[in-house]
Structure 1
Amino acid sequence: MSQKLNLLSFKGNIRILHTTWFAFFISFMVWFNHAPLMSVIRDVFNLTAQEVSVLLILNVALTIPARIIVGMMVDSFGPRRMFSGILIFSSFLCLFFAWAQTFEQLALARFLLGFVGAGFVVGIRMIGEWFPARQTGIAQGIYGGWGNFGSAGSAMALPALALWIGGEDGWRYALTATAVIAFFYGIFYYLSVTDTPKGSTYFKPKKVGGMEVTSKLDLTLYLIMSMPIYGALALLTWKLSPKGMGWLNEQVVIITYASIAIVYLYQAMHIIKVNKDIFSKEVPDLFRYQFKQVAILDLAYMVTFGSELALVSMLPLFYIDMFGLSPVTAGLLAAIYPVMNLIARPGGGMMSDKIGRKKSLVILFSGISVTFLLLGQVSETWAVPLVVACTILCGLFSKGGSGAVYAMVPLIQRRMTGQVAGMVGAYGNVGGLIFLTVLSFVSPQVFFMVIGGTAATVLLFMFIFLEEPKGQTAEVLEDGTVELIDVT
């Protein structure tokens, strides 16, 4: 493979990169297709502000566990089948939402559409299979950064399409168009890609039901790091409870809390069952990896992608409330932040390839800490261009950080790349939920300071615990022979 990526080529691994980032683009377009049309949907269904908030929350609720589940499935069934299946399945869910007749139908469809947000995990495994360690950072960055732009694609295209179609159902046909695109691209993707380059082996986990770890200490850390994922679901339930938005009654809330606890305990039992061998025998050094690497990447993505989800949600109102800008102006200034994914995330991946995984994350997290703490000092006396410049700096560092995180994910353990990517991705959604919950209790300045302080804490963990991937990892072929995979 060439040392440089020729992005104008549509052959070999570059073709896989382009077809896969576009699959991710479509999945994000479908996942967030409601946002630019929400004002029309609100008027058609006479929704209250609370009901609108419920739809926005439900849209991300299922994504958290779905990324864990899809991570396991992609390792077992391969990214070709999984991404095709997710796109085709989501097209029918999209149609359900587009032609819903009641708020309850809207809510159920939006909740189920959170599943399509797990498509991101699938592409991480696909890109990891097709690109060597020296190129994985830039390739993963392009995949994540360009695919993430799907939400902006919806925002730019769907209102205009609905207006062009016209009539009271114009918005429904605009949403239907995204369903049609997802359906046919799902078929196209299945017919045009393979899970690995010709002659390469697709390594699968030896056991299904949980990530394999290689020591008892790692097993304990894995169980602990699984808790916040279920805690985030409990937090979502609390936000919908009588103490929050009041959408769920007390009885349903108690049942939901109990169900979340039972699911966690069930998953914990499966994790222990998958790893029961470590209690009776040592894992050979050749096959060992350290779960602390996964834990640090979980926390890192919680900050980088979590802050992105939170800022995308709050920046327009921040500009309106603090500086008295018009909604149109505020929306345009806020849109600068997500658009930077196009360059910052690939830039973070490229930086990781060039100077090293740990060094890149340390530099980028230093920038995240400083810029968010600086943004926490903003007041009404600041010039708006200066505030926008600060958010751009925050975006460059945080989105670059996301690229650097996923530059390292495929280098931990090849056969479990999907599961690692799923857990890290779930933590991104957990971060968004936590930061938005914090924002509901404090001022924007304190909110920014909390993100900066969290980033500084994760930076300290990186200094102490994170290790640069070196040498090779080992995987066992079906005939029992061992294959070594470069991670340097």
Structure 2
Amino acid sequence: METQTKKATTLKLTDLKSMPIRTFWITSIAFFICFFAWFGIVPFMPDVVKDLGLTPDQKWNSIILAVTGTVFARLLIGKLCDKYGPRLCYTYLLVLGAIPVILLGFVQTPTQFLICRLFIGFIGASFVITQFHTSIMFAPNIVGTANATSAGWGNLGGGANRLGMPLIAAAVVSFGVADEIAWRYSMVIAGVIAMLMGVVYYFFTQDTPEGNFAQLKKEGRMPTIKKDEEGFLSVLKDYRVWILFVVYGASFGIELTVYGTMDDYLQNTFGISRSMAGNLVLSFALMNIFARTLGGFFGDRFGRLKGLRGRVLFLTMILAVEGVMLTIFSTTTSIAFGMIFLILFSLSVQMAEGATFSVVPFINKKAIGSISGIVGAGGNVGAFMAAMFLKSKSSVAETAALATNSNLGEEAMKAAQAAAASGAVSSGYFVIGGFVAVTALVTLAIKFSTADEKAVKEELKVELAYAADK
């Protein structure tokens, strides 16, 4: 069987002789490993705090630094993908990004820990390369599904580390390493795995179905923008890019924030145990296995029915559902009803993420990487802003509650603090849900020209004809 050299029109996962399908698997696994390493230290934070003597401020700062590093890396990596291709960008990101992961196992001071956390955040840019690579490997009829599935499966790395890293630590301890320093060995192992994945990426993928960027440029088969700065400037001037920037902040950014605060909220509001709350939040994260894919699938389906406008309409609808579900959840006082709306929120927010990147590849075909980078960074900016909003509301409410009940005993103070935190976060979720709903309406402003619609139809016609000939 001859190796496929054009874009894939189906997501046939067993066809490993197909370069697009092989790339899909490798880029999804690379993304998973990057997120696994990025959040790998999270399960070990109690050990890190004890080992390095971190203050509460230093602990929070490490989280903020990791997110900050990702924002800048995502903005940069998209532009680099447009210029050098995803294969080289991912190879360098994996190999160089593995270095701070490994070094984290050797830190001796809080400052060293914070510096490593900042640079580890750069591997969060892996999302942009994955979306770019699948965008140029798959035809318009299936690109949304491919993007959403690779992103969803890769995102699992951020939840799987809750189970995987402790297992690695347990294996390390079985070889005689002390429990309290097992986290160091675990991070080194995670870093080595990421570095090896970089080697795999280099040798087993290529930039496009037709070949690598360098080869295509040399043969004159790849259109280039003479003035790269002007090309990037046109991306920055495109209002649709910034709407999608906000949209991804209102979907992925809100998902990160809600799941980051949900453990405590479930305990404070419904009185469940920490272990049960943690398991519930993990189960919602695992919905990425299928929920993002659904968003991309329906984006593609609406695209076939209504063209590019159809993709935007589906994004509007699912984003509105996300906002309504979070708003309703914030008002529930019953654990049973709360779980129903939390499940619906989890499903809709992940579908909205998938639907966003069923639109991104059609904004500007010559700058998919730059646009993916900007939109991807929007997710981290949204997470940062939402987290700061909830933290400020909760801090004020908890401080007031403690001051009011300071003479009632420790148990009463803890109960008052928990109630105050619950109320503050609840009202915060309500406001955020409203913001998401408003953002949904704003997406209707995303327009495509008749020429854009025609170009997509022509591209799909060519790809389907090629697939039929095969």
Q: State TM-score, norm by structure 1.
A: 0.78
Q: Does 1:412 align with 2:412?
A: no
Contact 2:26-2:201 at 8 Å conserved across structures:
yes
1:159 matched to which residue of 2? 166
Q: CA deviation at 1:400?
A: 0.3
Which whole-Å deviations, capped at 9, do the CAs of 1:453-487 have from their partners, x for residues lacking one? 1112112212344448612179xxxxxxxxx7559
The whole-number CA distance in structure 1 between the counterparts of 2:223 and 2:432 is 37
| Identical positions, percent | 29
Q: Does 1:11 align with 2:23?
A: no
Q: Does 1:312 align with 2:259?
A: yes
SS at 1:169's partner residue?
A: helix
Q: CA deviation at 1:72?
A: 0.8
Q: State TM-score, norm by structure 2.
A: 0.81
Q: Does 1:353 align with 2:300?
A: yes
Contact 1:80-1:194 at 8 Å conserved across structures:
yes
In the superposition, relative to structure 1, how do residues 414 and 112 fare at CA in structure 2: closer, same or farther (>3 Å)?
same
Which whole-Å deviations, capped at 9, do the CAs of 1:345-399 have from their partners, x for residues lacking one? 01100000111211211220121121111122123xx1x2321221111111111
The whole-number CA distance in structure 2 between the counterparts of 1:197 and 1:435 is 39
Say which structure is richer in helix. 2
Give the counterpart of 2:454 among 464, 467, 471: 471
The whole-number CA distance in structure 2 between the counterparts of 1:210 and 1:449 is 41
1:373 matched to which residue of 2? 327
Q: Does 1:206 align with 2:189?
A: no
Contact 2:41-2:183 at 8 Å conserved across structures:
no
1:101 matched to which residue of 2? 108
2:428 matched to which residue of 1? 447
Q: CA deviation at 1:130?
A: 0.7
Q: Which of 79-88 and 95-104 deviates more?
A: 95-104
Which whole-Å deviations, capped at 9, do the CAs of 1:122-164 have from their partners, x for residues lacking one? 1111111110111101000111000011112221111122123
- Aligned residue type for 1:397: S
2:194 matched to which residue of 1? 182
In the superposition, relative to structure 1, how do residues 305 and 457 fare at CA in structure 2: closer, same or farther (>3 Å)?
same
Contact 1:36-1:159 at 8 Å conserved across structures:
yes
The whole-number CA distance in structure 1 between the counterparts of 2:77 and 2:442 is 28
In the superposition, relative to structure 1, how do residues 39 and 454 fare at CA in structure 2: closer, same or farther (>3 Å)?
same
Q: CA deviation at 1:208?
A: 3.3
Q: CA deviation at 1:79?
A: 0.3
2:241 matched to which residue of 1? 294
The whole-number CA distance in structure 2 between the counterparts of 1:144 and 1:59 is 20
- Aligned residue type for 1:340: M
1:337 matched to which residue of 2? 284
The whole-number CA distance in structure 2 between the counterparts of 1:293 and 1:473 is 18
Contact 1:211-1:419 at 8 Å conserved across structures:
no
- Aligned residue type for 1:187: V
Contact 2:313-2:444 at 8 Å conserved across structures:
no
- Aligned residue type for 1:448: Y
The whole-number CA distance in structure 2 between the counterparts of 1:11 and 1:367 is 40
SS at 2:228's partner residue?
A: coil
The whole-number CA distance in structure 2 between the counterparts of 1:156 and 1:294 is 36
The whole-number CA distance in structure 1 between the counterparts of 2:60 and 2:8 is 48
Q: CA deviation at 1:423?
A: 0.4
The whole-number CA distance in structure 2 between the counterparts of 1:210 and 1:329 is 53
Give the counterpart of 2:68 among 56, 61, 72: 61
In the superposition, relative to structure 1, how do residues 24 and 2 fare at CA in structure 2: closer, same or farther (>3 Å)?
closer
Q: Does 1:428 align with 2:367?
A: no
Contact 1:296-1:466 at 8 Å conserved across structures:
no
Where does the alignment leave 5 or more consecutive residues of structure 2 unmatched? 1-6, 304-310, 394-423, 464-470
Q: CA deviation at 1:438?
A: 1.1
1:239 matched to which residue of 2? none
Q: Does 1:21 align with 2:41?
A: no
2:308 matched to which residue of 1? none
The whole-number CA distance in structure 2 between the counterparts of 1:202 and 1:312 is 42
SS at 1:62's partner residue?
A: helix
In the superposition, relative to structure 1, how do residues 195 and 160 fare at CA in structure 2: closer, same or farther (>3 Å)?
same
Which whole-Å deviations, capped at 9, do the CAs of 1:169-220 have from their partners, x for residues lacking one? 3111111111110111101110001101126755544333475455xxx86x
SS at 2:392's partner residue?
A: coil
Q: Does 1:461 align with 2:415?
A: no
- Aligned residue type for 2:181: D
Where does the alignment leave 5 or more consecutive residues of structure 1 unmatched? 223-290, 475-483
Contact 1:308-1:338 at 8 Å conserved across structures:
no
The whole-number CA distance in structure 2 between the counterparts of 1:2 and 1:205 is 26
In the superposition, relative to structure 1, how do residues 210 and 386 fare at CA in structure 2: closer, same or farther (>3 Å)?
farther
Q: Does 1:362 align with 2:368?
A: no
2:84 matched to which residue of 1? 77
In the superposition, relative to structure 1, how do residues 368 and 203 fare at CA in structure 2: closer, same or farther (>3 Å)?
farther
Contact 2:9-2:138 at 8 Å conserved across structures:
no
Q: Which of 193-202 and 119-128 deviates more?
A: 193-202
Which whole-Å deviations, capped at 9, do the CAs of 1:56-104 have from their partners, x for residues lacking one? 1111111111111111111111100000110000111111111111111
